Amino acid sequence: MLHDEEQEATQGNMMAQRYVPGQPGAPWTDEEALTVKAKLWRLFAVGESKALYDKIAPGNDKVGWRDAFRPASKMMRLGFHDCLKYTDGTGGCDGCLDYQGVGGRYNESEVEAAGKFLYPKKGLFSHNNGFQVTVELLEAVYTDRNFPEKTPQLPYSLRDSGKSRADLWAFAAICGVEYGITINNAVCEDPEYENKYYDKSGGMDVNGGRHCHHLQGQDGCTLNLERSIQFRTGRKDCGDNYTATKKEVPPDDQASGHTTAAFFQDNFGFTGQDTVAIMGAHTMGRFHYPFSMFRYVWVHNGGMMFNNQYYRNIVGGKGDFRTTGECVKVGDAWGEPPAIRWMVHGREDTEVGGPFHWIQEKHICPEECSDPEIESEDPCCQDIPAGANCVPDNNRPKGSDSIGADDDVNSGCERYRFKMGLDQMTLPAEIGLYLNFSSDPETGIPYGCPGFEDFNLDRFHESHKYTWTRRDSEKADPACEKNDMQVGGSKPLYQIMEDYANDQQKWANDFVVAFEKMQVNGYEVSELVDGPDRWDGVTCPAQDHLPTSQKYWSCFREGDTEDAGPTVYIQSRLDDRVMQVNEGHGQLEMWTKIEGAESQQWRWMPSGDQLRNVGSKSLLTIKGVGNWAIEPATKGDPDDKIITGVDANGNAVAIDRGHKKVDGKSVNVWRVHSGKNQRWHIVDV
């Protein structure tokens, strides 16, 4: 601990380095990057961001799960929104948002609002709506070196050490991508990952049940970056806070692919490949009606996995099944991957009949017929032929084409269905990069393909049936050609989409290039400084499965522990039992020493004030305290030590194992008194 005079002098020096808006943000150290990543990792964990926001903004009853859940995907998209330019051509990545209308809400009951033509075409609120909690949580990280608790502390806040807010937002966006890759790969490697490491009542912010990977157990499931995303520093904030004084130029989500590609070329210097690649970020997260009037999800049974499922959905030729909440595959009557179509639907929330959704439907059996856990009375699930999942339409035989043999694809046991409330959808501006259609610039109503002839405002008012595209008087997908537009020397847009649907690694490689280009918008690359790599060899262990008292989020390089301090036993002077992590439930306990048991061995981290269990890989943490000092005990033998830390209230505490001399006794912290239950021998293994 610093003496008071030293502390005041240090604080004064830190304040002198406080960031000045308009100046380049100061470089980051490797330690700062790993510490801030640990802080973000806690915010990304299920339920943590809402609980932490309630602490920094108590009593804000307008904020709910939609605002705070899936912060990794929100921060990833914040990185894009921050880099939009202003109407005067200035701007780029500057730590500021056009905040007009942020915090507003459309009718919470989206069902009641539909069909009322209530809102103007562009809606009422900012395109940045939904970011309120995200930016306020990041502001706490930026200005408070201790936020959030149960993570390592910075020596001083990012702001007080001269870092720009824009650099933090860029860093958070990169970490959001990395979190999604981590979750994707964990699910690929172990389909029971969620059940083991997450509270099932909270899930993992999944869009329906649990995460289901279409390539589970197959090659290509995991995603590996060939190189990490380059973090750069030196961006300049537009002002003292994150609210911009100028109007931004956002993309038009109701526009065609041609308009979308032109926007990214004009505002980001993107090629067609860059534009298609950056869209893959939408494989994470979901829509929320109160913020945007958009409903449903990009990826059902996804949400936090970063992979190429977004492209597989749009292209539709990959043969992906529908999955239930427990990952049971649902296909056609004979268990084959289903045909898909994209339907256009006007929800009639706006005065022009929008917003317009493209909704994916799969030609499948009723879901309950394929789930052995469900006893269904649906006739489609009764008297099923041997080897079938439901009654085949028209008694078609196995191996026949489900669409060709079906005289009505909109009814019967095998028919086109969407997932009620969790429909997979895409914005016109996204699917327009694959399908060639036009959009009216005033209304956003699409046109230019067979199926759009009766898709117009007059027809919307005439009958609800016309709010879906139709062909030959039947509900049907529009028969659009593929979009062969080429931008900046790239392949035709539709071919890039298909490449990414077929080759996840190709998409990942191109995404990194596009993402880095996005993050320097408004700057010359030479103006920025390469920051530390916080990805290669870095581990941020999951904490959700640990007892609450032992949760502590940290990130470290795997090789660091080999070059750190010695591996030790922590042996109590009360009864010679040693501290261990219970291999079954992760609880920190006292136990009779077993030579060679890795669960009883601890290794010093390079920071010199953290201990990591060799067996569980978890840090020694108790009630949010994870940084420790070994000090001489004021009582007992000269070799006796106490292990001290500082709790969230700034109080000095010591590890205290209590007086009960039994195996399995839990460990706690208490005020420092150097009694025998607080005294230890630190013994080299």
Q: What whole-number percentage of the chain has pLDDT above 70?
A: 95
Q: What number is the average pLDDT over the span 559-571?
A: 76
Mean pLDDT estimate for the chain: 91
pLDDT band at 16 (very low <50, low <70, confident <90, very high): very low
Contact between residue 59 and residue 164 where contact means Cβ atoms under 8 Å apart: no
d(CA 536, CA 541): 15
Distance (Å) of CA 142 to CA 112, 138, 148, 493, 621 = 40, 6, 11, 39, 24
Under the banding of pLDDT at 50, 70 and 90, the label for residue 122 is confident
- 511-535 mean pLDDT: 97
Taking residues 250-264, what's their average pLDDT? 97
Residue 9 has pLDDT above 50, yes or no: no
β-pair partners for 415: 364
Is pLDDT at 570 greater than 90 in this prediction? Answer: yes
Q: State the Cα–Cα distance between residues 464 and 116, nearest whole angstrom.
A: 12
Q: Among residues of the chain, what percentage have pLDDT more than 90?
A: 76
> What is the C-alpha to C-alpha distance for residues 70 and 72, in angstroms, rounded to an integer?
5
What pLDDT is stored for residue 544 in this prediction?
Answer: 79
Range with the largest mean pLDDT of 421-425, 510-514, 634-638: 510-514
Determine the pLDDT at residue 14.
Answer: 42
Question: Residue 198's pLDDT band (boundaries 50, 70, 90)?
Answer: low
User: In the chain, what are the domains?
Assistant: 18-252+503-530 (1.10.520.10), 564-684 (2.80.10.50)
Return the number of other C-beta atoms located less than 10 Å from residue 187's C-beta.
Answer: 25
Q: What is the mean pLDDT of residues 542-563?
A: 78
User: In angstroms, rounded to a whole number, what is the distance separating the alpha carbons of residues 477 and 623?
Assistant: 56
Tell me what pLDDT residue 618 has.
83
Provide the β-strand partners of residue 468.
Answer: 345
Taking residues 433-439, what's their average pLDDT? 98
* Span 616-643, pLDDT tens digits: 888 899 988 998 999 999 999 999 999 9
**Whole-Å CA distances, 140 to 133, 135, 150:** 11, 9, 15
CA atoms within 13 Å, Cβ hemisphere of 615: 18
State the average pLDDT over residues 345-373.
93
CB-CB neighbours of 502 under 10 Å: 16
Residue 15 has pLDDT above 70, yes or no: no
CA distances from 455 to 344, 352, 416, 469, 601 (A): 9, 11, 20, 6, 68
Kindly give, in sequence order, each residue whose CB lies less than 8 Å from that of residue 671, ignoring residues fewer than 6 positions away.
Answer: 651, 652, 653, 654
pLDDT of 195 higher than 60: yes
pLDDT band at 229 (very low <50, low <70, confident <90, very high): very high
pLDDT at 1: 30
